[in-house]
A = this chain, B = another copy of it.
Amino acid sequence: MAEAVERTPAEWQAYLERAPFHRWLGLRFAAVEPGRVEIVCPFREELVSDPDVPYLHGGLIATLLDVAGDYAVATRIGRGVPTVDMRVDYLRAAGKEDLRVVGTVAKLGRSLSVADAECRGADGKTIALGRILYSTR
Contacts and interface: CB of A to CB of B under 8 A. Distances in A.
A137 B135 CA distance: 13
A86 B87 CA distance: 6
Interface in A78-135: 80, 82-91, 93, 106-107, 109, 111-112, 114, 126, 129, 131, 133, 135
A55 to B, nearest CB: 9
A49 B84 CA distance: 15
Mostly, the A contact residues are mixed
A89 B89 CA distance: 14
| Copies of this chain assembled into the complex | 4
A67 B83 CA distance: 20
Interface residues on A, range: 35 or more
A98 B68 CA distance: 26
A115 to B, nearest CB: 11
Given A46-B20, A87-B131, A63 B67 contact: no
21 contacts: A20-B45, A20-B48, A21-B47, A21-B59, A21-B60, A57-B63, A58-B83, A59-B62, A59-B64, A60-B63, A83-B90, A85-B85, A85-B88, A85-B89, A86-B90, A89-B106, A89-B107, A89-B131, A111-B135, A114-B129, A129-B131
